[in-house]
Structure 1
Amino acid sequence: MDFCNFFSALLPLLVLEKDGRVNALYSTPSIYTDAKYATNEAWPLKTDDYFPYADRINAYWTGYFTSRPALKGYVRTMSGYYLAARQLEFLKGRSKAGPNTDYLADALALAQHHDAVSGTSKQHVANDYAKRLSIGYEEAAKVVETSLASITRSSSKTDSGNKVTMFQQCLLLNISYCPSSEVDLSNGKNLVVVVYNPLGWKREDIIRIPVIDGNVIVKDHRGNEIESQLVPLLNASLAIRNYYSMAYLGKFPSVTPKYWLAFSASAPPLGLNTYFISSRKQKATAAPSKNQVVYSSKEKQKDVIEVGPGDLKLVFSAKQRKLIGYINSRTKVKETVRQSYSFYTGATDIKQASGAYIFLPNGTNSLKPDHQALTVLRGPILDEVHQRINSWIYQITRVYKGKEHAEFEFIVGPIPISDGIGKEVVTKILTHMKTSKTFYTDSSGRDFLERIRNYRKDWNLDVNQPVAGNYYPINLGMYVKDDDKELSVLVDRSMGGASIKDGELELMLHRRLLHDDGRGVAEALNETVCVQNKCSGLTIVGKYYLRIDPLGEAAKWRRSFGQEIYSPFLLAFTQQEGDGWTNSHVSSFSGMDPSYVLPDNVAMITLQELDNGQVLLRLAHLYEVGEDKDLSVMASVQLKKVFAHKKINKVTEMSLSANQGRVEMEKKRLVWKVKGSPEEVPKVVRGGPVDPAALVVELAPMEIRTFVIDFN
């Protein structure tokens, strides 16, 4: 800001005082708050938010909920990676001289700027945010690799002559690119896959990695062969892989994998298990392609196709080439479900255009699936359905054995603009549920807020934008419910969402627009990727997840699986001659007491060793009051078992930001007068003080508690 101009503008206002005296100061939020408190007024209690914003008619700030979806996805991925990297940094011991996680921490903090992850910066600024995240990742990756090498190396089994294990990771698995797993194992080497679990619960999930040969087997850390599945890597994924590896790395991949290798992996809380992939000594009797079943609409066959190797079955129509039903044999839930794609035409009016901030649709266009037949790939672990929606949208739907949700992977882009029309791409889930204009969206991934279409609780709403005016930010997920069931959708990054009609949910996946919206960016939201001086629109690869539960039973999945989306397994790869790994390494490890797991309603959201050797710990209760009949209760965490490998000397509870002690903060807390009767003010329940001998932390629903811990 030009302070000279600022004071020049302020001066005429100052001399308006009759006696010429002026008391001017730079205010702060705390000064403002103290001034309001000093008025001794009673204030209304507001427990929801003010979304969606509009600064004038037909100008809803709901476009930025999705703007720059690649950056949003990158920030989300790096946030989860940072959480795991800090844990491993603590488990090994923070290095004062070597690499650390600080640069990634700074890059992520910078990305929280209101013009960063929101997608409302200029393109060159967005590039700088991504560059800083990339530099931070490279530094944190060194921490992860050295920490895993330290944890897996057993001093009791290793002689001093053995080299430190060199691990590698695969940040570009989302585009099917992983040089560490695309290796030739016919020479007798094992591919060692270390699977680290950053959650405080034991978990099991499906690992998928690209491999160049289908003649492989997978063994667990005990040396037992486990079930695996080969899934052909189809052209849509290979095209993305080749183009974007060239864009990111400046070179095409040196090999082309033939398959995804899928297998079920498990790991203890804050711990790891090791898996070994090797060449099968004898050729498999059945070719991997036998797992592939291609359905063609031109062939004589049943119209209805059921997919899913477990309790969940998705039903597709071969003729219509789309999803038509959902059946869960365990819960007895059966629902007509249709999923479709469409795009809103971005308004180009000179008075107000759709842009980085503003979502202003000028009509909608449905996208019918291409005439290409569905491709269905079946196997013992998962089934996949591949759909070519049009030349620039491709979808893979997966149903896993042992999982009761469906995974939708979308490939959207490059969005065509040769017609001079900007497009805002959405996917819709349609059911026959009676939802009474009501749906629910998360608030910063924590509590879910009720949304009612075309209605605001605090004022009478004039509806001038029935679509944009009902869009909300989705960070964790959204859901609708009727008298019998709940339909939930969870996302892998922040995006905009709505329920424009009863029984429907809608997610905006990608935006490419040709005009600025006049809110300060001063350029169109038109992201491109350039390879060899040829540029095309940005392609987005992402996922969302769908599940339908009996009424009142969905919160468990939303909360637990939501944590798994945010904190996926961290994979690290190395190679080993023969079977020597188990003789010189630890193949299974838990950072907590092996017999202990965190309660199902508690997550560890921070575990960080500070520069002074102290440890910062944050624990969060995942459930709201009344959200779940079993888990919306007080929870307890035993710190002695969480830190079973160390001796706790002192535990100090801090404020949420850890910049002051909780006792000190409570002394300064203001007690506000609230309008209404005392019965209308909800009573807040909180966990009690931590006994220094028992060292048990209590957490009430939605409570987050922060501690600094000293160890002997």
Structure 2
Amino acid sequence: MGLLQHHDTITGTSPMINIADALQRMHQVEKIGENLTLVLYQHILTQSSAINLSQPLVFCQLNESYCKPLATMDKFSAIIYNPSSISNQLWLRIPVDQNQTIHLDIDTVKKLSIDAQEIATIDLSPMILSIPIAEQCNQLQELIVRVNIPPLSFQALPFTTLKQSQKVEPSPFSNLKCSIENQNYIVTVDEQGSIISIKLKSIDKNIDFNQNFAYYTSSSGNKISHQSSGLYVFRPVGTDPPKQVSIKQFYCSKQKGYEEIIQVYSRYVHQTIRLLDNSPYIEFEWTVGRLHRNVEFVTSYESKDLQNNGIFYTDSSGRSLMKRIRDRRDGYNFTQSEPSAGNYYPLVTGILMKDKKQDLQMSIVTDRAQGGGSIYDGQIEIMIHRRVLTDDVLGVSEPLNEMGIDRRGLVIRGRHLLALTKIEDGIKFFREHALKSVWKPIIAFRNDVNNEPLNYKPWSLLKSELPPQINILTIEPLTQENNILTILFRVEHFYEPNEHSSLSKTVSIQID
């Protein structure tokens, strides 16, 4: 925890040798955590199913579409734990080897009354396959499964595997206008593949909208200031807007309950825009890298139909929302000389802006700490990658030049969840999904040898669900004396006063 919370570790403002050491230490701790998780699963699952959980659990890098051990399993179970105090609809994405097919065991799922559904098997894009670790295997597809997981509960999903070759067809790239939709949104792209509008179905309103990628060129200093961009400082050349990256190819893909737009900008930028069944958000999943030198790479979400009058909100360590006003600092007279960098703020879980006249809110939940702001009205900009070869001369004496595990340059993959809603609905969305982004489900796989699946019903730590505004922070055993166990139990009300008409109210919970 000390390493994870150190201000120079989480921000990257350390020499590369220190960062490499921190990564190695965290990897070692991660392995210890996996072993402890196995012990926990053994204790809970064997009580629930009367099965000896002797097979080791496999933890995979699913964010990189990589899980090599699955290629050798005839049958396996995905064991999922939801650490959040609210229910989570998880869209599980399982890497599939090109010489196999994988299917959810529907009969067992129905027998145990598990709320899960197999959606589709889709091809991975060539851009995702360029991620260094994904290049090492033949997992060219992903199986998509939707599963609803109650709060603080375990689920085990059984899968079967067939050894047969799957032909991966080339992507059907198009130059035709298309759209994707679910119960809440319709997202439309033009003939170039750029989003041109989002329809809010709940209020029957069409919003002019655009999302793009762009980059600033890092400054090495000028006549106004010798300060260069670097590890500590974001300082682009001049005051011009960032240069946009154009889309080269795109296509729309539609499965029942799962629709997406795939965009290829260049050999180092790829994005998938998804609408999932009944989802309150639009998912933007991007893969960026390897960057050229002295590039500060951003994504921008903007609408000419929204006016936030220079006001936007960023979270404070995932808790209170901090009001920000463009080109202004409270407490002293401020002269803005850096219109982009001067309006950047830290985002831990997200950023939002409100058009109070129309009662509309644009909310974005991030999957990691990033920097961002509203550089002009109706727009939110978030930085997602940097590669700067100048030293900002603030103590580290190194440029920001992460090479990645293959030493060719860092490739990153991440996602943003965007919601366009009425303001009060937007607050509910932001609070719930910011919580889910921090308390992500823990997923492990178990080889079901000898046709021995984990036949057990979902198991929960809770007798009943908590009020929707309550989150459990800590359940920690402290001492045990005279057969009396003392436990530290902490809960939080994660809405601010007057933030929501009903969810900001005081609630009581019963602890048995």
C-alpha deviation, 1:258, in angstroms: 3.4
Q: Secondary structure at the match of 1:142?
A: helix
1:230 paired to 2:121: yes
Matched to 1:446, the amino acid is R
Matched to 1:451, the amino acid is R
Matches within 5 A, 1:471-510: 471-482=344-355, 483-484=357-358, 485-510=360-385
The 1:156–1:502 alpha-carbon spacing in structure 2 relative to 1, beyond 3 Å, is closer
Aligned match of 2:103 in 206, 212, 216? 216
C-alpha deviation, 1:288, in angstroms: 9.5
1:393 paired to 2:269: yes
C-alpha deviation, 1:333, in angstroms: 4.1
Asked whether the equivalents of residues 311 and 323 of structure 2 are also in contact (C-alpha less than 8 Å), the reply is yes
Q: Normalising by the residue count of structure 2, what TM-score does the alignment of the two structures yield?
A: 0.90
1:141 paired to 2:26: no
Asked whether the equivalents of residues 472 and 498 of structure 1 are also in contact (C-alpha less than 8 Å), the reply is yes
Corresponding residue number in structure 2 for 1:86: none
C-alpha deviation, 1:624, in angstroms: 0.6
Q: Report the Cα distance in structure 1 between the residues aligned to 2:203 and 2:221, rounded to whole angstroms.
A: 50
Matches within 5 A, 1:316-395: 316-317=189-190, 319-349=191-221, 351-363=226-238, 364-372=241-249, 374-395=250-271
Asked whether the equivalents of residues 218 and 226 of structure 1 are also in contact (C-alpha less than 8 Å), the reply is no
Aligned match of 2:154 in 272, 288, 298? 272
Aligned match of 1:451 in 299, 307, 324? 324
- Which stretch of structure 1 is more off in the superposition, 386-395 or 479-488? 386-395
Corresponding residue number in structure 1 for 2:476: 608
The 1:157–1:118 alpha-carbon spacing in structure 2 relative to 1, beyond 3 Å, is closer
Corresponding residue number in structure 1 for 2:59: 169
1:214-242 per-residue CA deviation (whole Å, 9 max, x = no partner) reads 362443273578333111122111221xx
Q: Report the Cα distance in structure 1 between the residues aligned to 2:150 and 2:235, rounded to whole angstroms.
A: 48
Q: Which runs of 5+ in 1 are unaligned?
A: 1-107, 247-251, 641-712
Matched to 1:375, the amino acid is Y
1:563 paired to 2:431: no
Asked whether the equivalents of residues 169 and 180 of structure 1 are also in contact (C-alpha less than 8 Å), the reply is no
Asked whether the equivalents of residues 440 and 450 of structure 1 are also in contact (C-alpha less than 8 Å), the reply is yes
Asked whether the equivalents of residues 221 and 273 of structure 1 are also in contact (C-alpha less than 8 Å), the reply is no
- Which stretch of structure 1 is more off in the superposition, 229-238 or 626-635? 229-238
Matched to 2:302, the amino acid is L
Corresponding residue number in structure 2 for 1:5: none
Whichever structure has more strand as a proportion of its residues is: 2
Q: Normalising by the residue count of structure 1, what TM-score does the alignment of the two structures yield?
A: 0.66
Q: Secondary structure at the match of 2:437?
A: helix
Q: Which runs of 5+ in 2 are unaligned?
A: none
1:520-570 per-residue CA deviation (whole Å, 9 max, x = no partner) reads 111111111253xxx322111111111100132211110111111111221
Q: Report the Cα distance in structure 1 between the residues aligned to 2:161 and 2:49, rounded to whole angstroms.
A: 30
The 1:147–1:136 alpha-carbon spacing in structure 2 relative to 1, beyond 3 Å, is same
Corresponding residue number in structure 1 for 2:3: 110
Matched to 1:203, the amino acid is N
Q: Report the Cα distance in structure 2 between the residues aligned to 1:156 and 1:206, rounded to whole angstroms.
A: 25
Asked whether the equivalents of residues 369 and 387 of structure 1 are also in contact (C-alpha less than 8 Å), the reply is no
Corresponding residue number in structure 2 for 1:191: 76
C-alpha deviation, 1:341, in angstroms: 1.1
The 1:156–1:293 alpha-carbon spacing in structure 2 relative to 1, beyond 3 Å, is closer
The 1:399–1:617 alpha-carbon spacing in structure 2 relative to 1, beyond 3 Å, is same
Matches within 5 A, 1:616-635: 616-635=488-507
The 1:405–1:392 alpha-carbon spacing in structure 2 relative to 1, beyond 3 Å, is same
Aligned match of 1:515 in 352, 370, 390? 390
Matched to 2:62, the amino acid is L
C-alpha deviation, 1:381, in angstroms: 2.9
Matches within 5 A, 1:41-190: 108-154=1-47, 157-158=50-51, 162=52, 164-170=54-60, 172-185=61-74, 190=75
Q: Report the Cα distance in structure 2 between the residues aligned to 1:360 and 1:180, rounded to whole angstroms.
A: 44
Q: Report the Cα distance in structure 2 between the residues aligned to 1:203 and 1:537, rounded to whole angstroms.
A: 35
The 1:184–1:157 alpha-carbon spacing in structure 2 relative to 1, beyond 3 Å, is closer
The 1:495–1:157 alpha-carbon spacing in structure 2 relative to 1, beyond 3 Å, is closer
Q: Report the Cα distance in structure 2 between the residues aligned to 1:559 and 1:141, rounded to whole angstroms.
A: 29
RMSD: 2.5
Q: Report the Cα distance in structure 1 between the residues aligned to 2:227 and 2:65, rounded to whole angstroms.
A: 40
Corresponding residue number in structure 1 for 2:286: 410
